[in-house]
Amino acid sequence: MRRIIVLALCLLILFGTIEYVCRGHVPANTYLGSHTISFFSRSEVLRLLAQDVDGSFQFKVRSRVYRYQYKESGVYVDVNKTLNAVFSHNTQGLFPVTRFFIGSFFSQRMVVPTVSFSDLFYAKFAQTVFDISTQNNDVRVNDQTKKLLFTDNTQKYRVDPKLLKQQIIGSVGTNVVLEPVTARISDTTENSRVLSYNERIAAITAKPVGIVLDGEKRAFAELTQGELLSIVTISYDQKHDNLDMGVDKNKLSDIVQSKEKSLNKGGDFTLDSEFMGTQLVTLVAARFNGYTHDFVIGRLLKKPNTDGTYAQKYIEIDISQQRMYLWENGSVSVAHSVSTGLYYPTPPGKYTILNKAPNAYSDIYHVWMPYWMAFYLDPKVNAYLGIHELPYWIDVTGTQIRRPSNFIGSPHTGGCVSLDVGEAQEVYSWAQVGTVVLVYE
């Protein structure tokens, strides 16, 4: 009888131990994500899951790795459901549990944590743009067509949240760097802006431009589309999205000279390319902005009084035309409109540049004369006459007041030769002391 009682007690202890071990611990060869949880107690599994709840996931977009906290990204590890999955064998009787526990020594078991995703997750990763660009987009002008060339250098991507979700579920509790499916986003905004600019630029040279002589009704010549392409200048400031349009004066001058062959006015006149250039700038802007503008006025000027052989380099001033010609190596390098003497006549004659100064002061008219180049000491007024920029004076408030630019082109000075702002500096840089100055009536 005693033996039976002892045997019964031993069996009871054995079954109790088996019950405690099998139901209170994780079977062998069991993995929770990448964690080995073999023989973990329920409390140990709970501690491990608590770490996963507060954990993070990371993924790579091209070469850059991003890390996000689960909670802040709308990713939630369901502890209770995951715990139930780990201890799912506990729902069986003692014998099946024991058999399951013993069998675990001979096979592996993988438990995937139960993960849920809130609307925050989908909103966050459907909208987030991952910008890994290393250089800005490039916009430059094609010298032949004058159109803008756009190169999209941006490296912007979006990830697929649905596929990312599946990867996260399989990576909870790991340090795996996920590689989600990405889609590149093109910079459609800047590309559309460039396309719009190009349509408007194309309108500038879409049709020839007729040249009509002042006072006449019909064009005697035209600027072809090819000539317009060579004349028009386009520059683009990408940083400030600023498009500047202008005219290449040198190329325009060459083309205008070729058009003079169609003139029937004798050989003493030339077309005013500077005047035509001003009109072309207006025409370019008008066509760019969608307006129809098909003609420019050709204004005739008397040709220079010399042919470029007087010296290798010299200045010619024609009072009747209010024009200045800079001759160099037998041809006019540039011509400017000027303003000559009204209150005191500019004397015709042959002179040379006597002295130069970045800025000079007139004691007679009490004005400052930038880019001063004296060419004659007039004994009648005991003062130098010279070439200079439109003069200015300082009022009592310290404000600089300059003679208006519309003075250029007609006599308005006290004997000197005034040039417009900017042009005087060009002449100042071009001429030296000793440069010949020829003044014709």
Tally of residues, the chain: 441
In whole angstroms, give the CA distance from residue 366 to residue 361. 7
Two tokens, residue 431:
């001429």
Angle (nearest 5°) at CA 403 between 440 and 393: 120
Contact 382, 372 (CB under 8 A): no
Closest CA to 322 of 306, 346, 343: 346
- Report helix, strand or coil for 286: helix
Element (H, E) at 123: helix 119-127
Q: How many CA atoms lie within 13 A of 100 on its CB side?
A: 21
Closest CA to 77 of 49, 115, 110: 115
25: left (phi over 0), alpha (psi -120 to 50) or beta: beta
Annotated catalytic residue within 35, 336, 388, 412? 388
**List of residues 6+ apart from 233 with CB closer than 8 A:** 245, 246, 247, 248
In whole angstroms, give the CA distance from residue 169 to residue 180. 13
Two tokens, residue 96:
């099946």
In whole angstroms, give the CA distance from residue 17 to residue 186. 66
**List of residues 6+ apart from 204 with CB closer than 8 A:** 146, 228, 232, 245, 284, 287, 288
DSSP string of 233-280?
EEEEETTTTEEEEEE-HHHHHHHHHHHGGG--S-SSEEE-HHHHHHHH
List phi, psi (to 5°) of 118.
-90, 175
CA end-to-end distance (rounded Å), the chain: 152
Task: Check if 388 is active-site.
Answer: yes
Burial of 349: CB neighbours in 10 Å, binned 0-12, 13-18, 19+: exposed
Catalytic residues, which ones? 388, 416
